[in-house]
Amino acid sequence: MGRARRRRGRRAFIAAAAAALAAAALYAGIVSAARSNTGEERGDAVALMNGQPIVLGQLRTYAEVNSLELHDAEAVEQAVEGAAHNKLMQIEAYKRGLTRSVSYDELLADMAAENDRRSQDRAAGKVIYGVPTYSEPIYYSQVMGNLAHSLENALVSEGAIQPTDDNLRRFYAANRDAYARGQDEIKLLVLNVPATEEGQAQLTAIKERYEKGEPFDRLYAEYADGTAGDSGKAGASVTAETLTVDESNAYELSKYQGELYEAAESMAVGDVQVVSDSLDGGMLKLLYCAGRKPAAYLSFEEVKPELTLRYVDREFDGYLETLYRQADIQHIQNDKSILEELQ
């Protein structure tokens, strides 16, 4: 499987939008309706996004989903911005009938109802798919991800995003290296040692000999043919192997030996790198790039399905970011007061 086919798109569902392109009267009606079905008041909010409150609970959940430690003002500011993006995405989705509410309280009520249903199904002996019981972070993440996907599809249907053949071909021409290159064939000479202080010292000594001018293939041959011993060049625990990274094994290497694969991808002929490999019994590996054959580009038709996803994701993020810059953002509490409430 080639590089272009291995790299799956990741939808940035954190990115969201304001209702800036809607007519003012329509937008006011939507916001009024959305506010009427929330139990959230302005006094409970840490910020307002186009009039809609972002409450402390949503801020906590957003931070947990995105592994943000809310211990300082910078982290709080980042969490408020991210939660605001999501609130704007909810508003855009609500305008199109893709969600019944923009309220975090309503989201929690939906989660409670779903958890109750799952509990009843378990009691009745029915199969439960996914988690047995949703936590707030898992449920929030799933809802935001589904909204992003639905809103993206709606924008395509509306024509706001146009993955036409002409647009995709221009995108292909500008991004061939990222999305349309196959897997280079990379030949590696590999020296392995146990992941110990002694092993690290052995690889360091070998690397220093190479950097001082000894040909690596000669150093490698000492271990490949067993002529290296304990007399000063290195220890007998060093073993040698060759490895070729190509289309036949690149996916498995990237999945199970990611550090090795990423190192190989970054190396030019003559480069050396040390990587750890827990899959290979906790070994350290000294990699030497002995050869690299560039891959051919995959044709437009070969990568068109993947390219379409990538193009739509990019346009979606750009569209929503433009709306975010036009949004009415009001900070009700400053970062310091939010931090105090979080304690």
Per the domain annotation, does 174 fall within a domain? no
- The reply to whether 249 and 313 lie within a common domain is no
CA 264, 267, 270, 272 dihedral sign is: negative
**What residue has token string 């009024």?**
32
Query: What are the residues whose beta carbons fall under 8 Å from the beta carbon of 220, sequence distance 6 or more?
Result: 189, 191, 240, 288
Per the domain annotation, does 303 fall within a domain? no
Top pLDDT among 226 and 329 is at 329
Of 124, 104, 102, give the one whose Cα is nearest residue 112.
104
- The reply to whether 143 and 261 lie within a common domain is no
Q: By residue range, what is the domain housing residue 192?
A: 183-293
Q: What is the spatial distance between Cα 198 and Cα 220, in angstroms, rounded to a whole number? A: 19
- The reply to whether 154 and 14 lie within a common domain is yes
Total domains present in the chain = 2
Kind of pairing between the strands at 52-55 and 329-331: unpaired
Residue 218 confidence (pLDDT) above 90: yes
- The reply to whether 25 and 135 lie within a common domain is yes
Taking each helix axis as running N to C, give the angle between helix 300-325 and helix 136-158, from 0 to 180 degrees, rounded to the nearest 10.
110
- The reply to whether 51 and 125 lie within a common domain is yes
- Classified as helix, coil or strand, 276 is strand
Q: What is the spatial distance between Cα 192 and Cα 288, in angstroms, rounded to a whole number? A: 12
- The reply to whether 162 and 194 lie within a common domain is no
- The reply to whether 331 and 204 lie within a common domain is no
Per the domain annotation, does 299 fall within a domain? no
- The reply to whether 137 and 68 lie within a common domain is yes
The amino acid at residue 8 is: R
pTM for the predicted model, two decimal places: 0.67
Of 70, 119, 115, 62, give the one whose Cα is nearest residue 87.
62
- The reply to whether 8 and 112 lie within a common domain is yes
pLDDT at position 123, please?
A: 95
- The reply to whether 259 and 318 lie within a common domain is no
Per the domain annotation, does 160 fall within a domain? yes
Which token pair is 154? 């709606």
**What residue has token string 């855009």?**
92
Q: What is the spatial distance between Cα 338 and Cα 279, in angstroms, rounded to a whole number? A: 44
pLDDT at position 42, please?
A: 53
- The reply to whether 154 and 233 lie within a common domain is no
Q: What is the pLDDT of residues 11-39, one digit of tens each?
A: 333 333 333 323 333 333 333 333 334 44
CA 294, 267, 8, 252 dihedral sign is: positive
Q: Which of 7-11, 89-93, 172-176 has the lowest mean pLDDT?
A: 7-11
Per the domain annotation, does 150 fall within a domain? yes
- The reply to whether 314 and 285 lie within a common domain is no
pLDDT at position 281, please?
A: 65
The amino acid at residue 158 is: E
Per the domain annotation, does 212 fall within a domain? yes
The amino acid at residue 206 is: I
Identify the band that residue 228 occupies on the pLDDT scale cut at 50, 70 and 90: low
CATH of the domain at 205: 3.10.50
CATH of the domain at 76: 1.10.4030
Which token pair is 249? 């094994």
Query: What are the residues whose beta carbons fall under 8 Å from the beta carbon of 22, sequence distance 6 or more?
Result: 30, 95
Per the domain annotation, does 175 fall within a domain? no
Of 274, 231, 279, give the one whose Cα is nearest residue 253.
279
